[in-house]
Amino acid sequence: MKKAYTLIELIVVLSILVIFSTVTIGGIKYFKDKSEDLNFENYVYEVKSLLSFAKSYCRKNKVIGNIIISSDRKSIIFDVTDKTYKLNKRVDLDNSTEIGSNFKLGNNKINDEGFIKEAGTITLSNKNSKFVKITISVGNDIIRVSENDDNEGDMIE
């Protein structure tokens, strides 16, 4: 009856364990990176939707609104202070994502026709060096995401 393992058996078992752990660790890293990329894309769509909603809401209700980028660069807010149509919507980002902008950090007025008074660019970046520019034009309803946006922009009716 055998009471011990040979060196060859031990090496084979350890080799199999190393192969399984390498595959598992690689898969976990891949899914973590993919999850972070999907969260980042979600934030891009949320900010774009907030801007489109803000323009549409101001035009529909004939009110003046503000787009406010917080000083900590972790949230963007649409605010209407009209007593009849009081509204405050915000998009909060996680710690790995940050908003940059050439807009003023304070108020960026949207007039009652749904136009932002000053053109600008909002950038979103994350710790994985992903970077997206959202360009807002004056005098029309087009919001573009990055230079390589295949679409002509979002027309709000």
Which domains does the chain carry?
Answer: 7-145 (3.55.40.10)
DSSP per residue, 8-75: HHHHHHHHHHHHHHHHHHHHHHHHHHHHHHHHHHHHHHHHHHHHHHHHHHHHHHT--EEEEE-TTSSE
Report whether 23 contacts 31 (CB < 8 A).
no
Question: How far, in Å, CA of 103 to CA of 107, rounded?
Answer: 9
pLDDT in tens, 6-63: 889 999 999 999 998 988 888 888 888 888 888 888 988 898 888 888 888 888 888 8
Report whether 74 contacts 98 (CB < 8 A).
yes
pTM comes to 0.72
